[in-house]
Amino acid sequence: MIYRTREDRSPDRRNVFIFGDVPNETLRSLEILLEKDGYGTAIVKKNGSARSAGTESESVLLTSEDGGRLPIPQQVDNAHSVTNGEMAQPSPSHTFAKDALQGNYDNIIWKSPQIFTVLRQIDKIANTPAKVLICGETGTGKELIARALHQNSDRAGNEMVSVNCAAIPDMLLESELFGHEKGAFTDAKVRHIGKFERAHKGILFLDEIGDMPLSVQAKLLRAVEAGEIERLGGARPIPVDVRIVAATHCNLARAVANGTFRKDLYYRLNAVSISLPPLRQRQEDIGALAEYFVEKHCKTYAQPARKMVPETITRLQSYPWPGNVRELENALIYAVLLTDGDAILPVHLPEEILAFPKSHVNIPKENHTPEYQQAESVPLGASLKTVEEAFIRATLAWQNGNRTKTAKILGISLRTLQNRLKEYEESESV
């Protein structure tokens, strides 16, 4: 993959050239990933000529619309040039994507290109000592990603030790992390080995690290920098070989600016950042997750096997899931337990999902979309900004994350769409 600029075009307009032969599904997967970064697609013929809006004959696959310097996407070896008639639609299966992954991710249920990108990141960093910061809303599966990182790393033979920094009282967190000697404080009647020592040669997962008190952050910084810890009441440092993976639902950069998180610790922990998108931004995963949870919990609660009907999947996809995957799982436990027949219908879902209002604004029928994708739910009394965000997100999901097509349907420029999405991400992190 290379960048070139045509002689008859301004030098800040960048084109991507790809040569070789791979299945059409791989090309489509690449397009989806690149379009999310602002590239517009152009179809490349086998004879090397291209045909798309605003693109004359040249072997161009993807091109920037706004002329900005875009990040170079990950290389896909042996990419395939296709004609317009050959272009495959997004596959309902992600077998082609699984084949592109090196690690074992059987414990992760996914179909979306966003999760594929996350797993590709894990492939690249698993066998390195780099510290990792996993960011995402509550319930998006941050610990599941941490475990996938551990299982595919060269430390998989040793323990991954987890600590929820928000669940342990401040006075006990230091002892829980670093341990204490007998007599270090009242009721310290025996020596206690902390999480750092237990994770020696393995991974220490610090969940919700944004809630860690500043007093403990200072001691954690020393452990990270020096590779050694001291138990409370101890007289000598203890060397530890620990890889740290941290997770947070909050914006740590904002916490640094507010003085609630140490800047030096933030930069120590943020060697590699993995961002998990909320469930509402990866609707391709909702159906697969729903079917998995139904099968799992029919067995857990000794219920007969049940199936999801398409109408139920549609209702699940129309709900915004503020609690993300965790909320989806709980909703399906509810449905499994309250269903009498062998099919889970919309009426079996929790009341808050059924009560979520439907919008009366329809996408034109000439788009030939399924009926359930022609309307987007917006609560009555919502602000104009909220309504706009809901329709932009719904249209983006309808177009499988294709920003160029989404902007065209909404009648706005690609740059305007990118600015809107950036605003939404920033508001979510506040």
The CATH number of whichever domain residue 420 belongs to comes to 1.10.8.60
Q: Is 91 contained in some domain?
A: no
Whether residues 160 and 267 share a domain: the answer is yes
Q: Is 103 contained in some domain?
A: no
Task: Give the integer Cα–Cα distance in Å for 132 and 124.
Answer: 12
164, 207 contact by CB (below 8 A):
yes
Give tens-digit pLDDT for 187-210. Answer: 889 999 999 999 999 999 999 999
Q: Is 99 contained in some domain?
A: no
Residue 81 pLDDT greater than 70, yes or no: no
From 277, 298, 322, the end of a domain falls on: 277
Whether residues 46 and 183 share a domain: the answer is no
Range of weakest confidence among 76-80, 169-173, 265-269: 76-80
Of all helices (H) and strands (E), which one includes residue 407?
helix 403-410
Tokens for 12? 């800040």
pLDDT, residue 157, reads: 97
More confident site: 256 or 362: 256
5, 13 contact by CB (below 8 A):
yes
Whether residues 239 and 122 share a domain: the answer is yes
Give tens-digit pLDDT for 326-381. Answer: 999 999 999 999 999 999 999 999 999 998 865 444 445 444 454 444 455 555 55
Q: Is 354 contained in some domain?
A: yes
From 277, 292, 324, the end of a domain falls on: 277
**Number of other CB atoms surrounding residue 308 within 10 Å:** 19
Task: Give the integer Cα–Cα distance in Å for 403 and 253.
Answer: 27
Whether residues 412 and 338 share a domain: the answer is yes
Three-state SS at 35? helix
Half-sphere exposure of 270 (CA within 13 A, CB side): 16
Of all helices (H) and strands (E), which one includes residue 160?
strand 160-164
* % of the chain surpassing 90 pLDDT: 57
Residue 285 pLDDT greater than 80, yes or no: yes
Instruction: Record the pTM.
Output: 0.64
Whether residues 185 and 38 share a domain: the answer is no
**Angle at the Cα of 83 (from 79 to 89), degrees rounded to 5?**
75
More confident site: 99 or 260: 260
User: Strand 160-164 relative to strand 203-207: parallel, antiparallel, unpaired?
Assistant: parallel
CATH for 205: 3.40.50.300
Q: Is 300 exposed, middle or buried (0-12, 13-18, 19+ CB in 10 A)?
A: exposed
Whether residues 237 and 130 share a domain: the answer is yes
Whether residues 121 and 207 share a domain: the answer is yes
More confident site: 394 or 333: 333
Residue that the structure tokens 């398409």 belong to? 310
Q: Is 92 contained in some domain?
A: no
Q: Rounded mean pLDDT of the chain?
A: 79
Whether residues 124 and 247 share a domain: the answer is yes
More confident site: 24 or 160: 160
How many whole angstroms from its chain centre is CA 388?
23
Whether residues 159 and 186 share a domain: the answer is yes
Residue 76 pLDDT greater than 80, yes or no: no
Whether residues 259 and 307 share a domain: the answer is no
Which range of residues forms the domain containing residue 47?
A: 2-86
**Angle at the Cα of 424 (from 423 to 430), degrees rounded to 5?**
90
Sequence-separated (6 or more) residues with CB below 8 Å from residue 192:
175, 179, 180, 231
User: Strand 39-41 relative to strand 62-64: parallel, antiparallel, unpaired?
Assistant: antiparallel
Q: Is 40 exposed, middle or buried (0-12, 13-18, 19+ CB in 10 A)?
A: buried
Q: Is 101 contained in some domain?
A: no
CA dihedral angle for residue 70, residue 73, residue 78, residue 80, rounded to 10 degrees = -60
Give tens-digit pLDDT for 114-123. Answer: 999 999 999 9
More confident site: 418 or 178: 178
Whether residues 137 and 229 share a domain: the answer is yes
Whether residues 16 and 69 share a domain: the answer is yes
Number of domains within the chain: 3
pLDDT, residue 52, reads: 36
Task: Give the integer Cα–Cα distance in Å for 53 and 65.
Answer: 11
Q: Is 95 contained in some domain?
A: no
From 255, 277, 299, the end of a domain falls on: 277
Residue that the structure tokens 């979520």 belong to? 356
Of all helices (H) and strands (E), which one includes residue 115?
helix 113-125
Q: Is 104 contained in some domain?
A: no
